[in-house]
Amino acid sequence: MSKNTERFSGSINRKMIERLRKERARRNLSMRAVAEEIGVSVSTISKLELGKTNADEFTTKNILEWLKTGKNQDRPARRVTVKKQVEALKTRVAGIEGRLDTLETHDKVR
């Protein structure tokens, strides 16, 4: 890639990230919420907004789609709250404990 192409690409990337930052602020969304909707890590959003990295092709495509539609159509937004995650884990633990009780009872019978 030539230096002119790199400058042009970098300029476009900075403009896209500035649009991302402004849109995120306008919608009052956290980096986490945007990252989940776009399909990248919070760290990626942070590094992009701070200018520490440039978006790769996948991220660029998803950011542009999000800016255009407000969401990433290829990847539905995950809206799993911490409370729901905790409840799901409690259910899994209860199931595992139940199986352990069954195994212990089975061992005692032997």
7 and 46 part of one domain: yes
91 and 48 part of one domain: no
Query: Is the distance from CB of 59 to CB of 44 less than 8 angstroms?
Result: yes
| Residues of the domain holding 46 | 3-78
Bigger pLDDT: 110 or 54? Answer: 54
73 and 90 part of one domain: no
Q: CATH number for the domain including 52?
A: 1.10.260.40
92 and 47 part of one domain: no
pLDDT recorded at residue 85: 74
* pLDDT tens digit sequence for 53-93: 888 888 999 999 999 887 644 444 445 567 777 787 888 88
Number of domains in the chain: 2
69 and 84 part of one domain: no
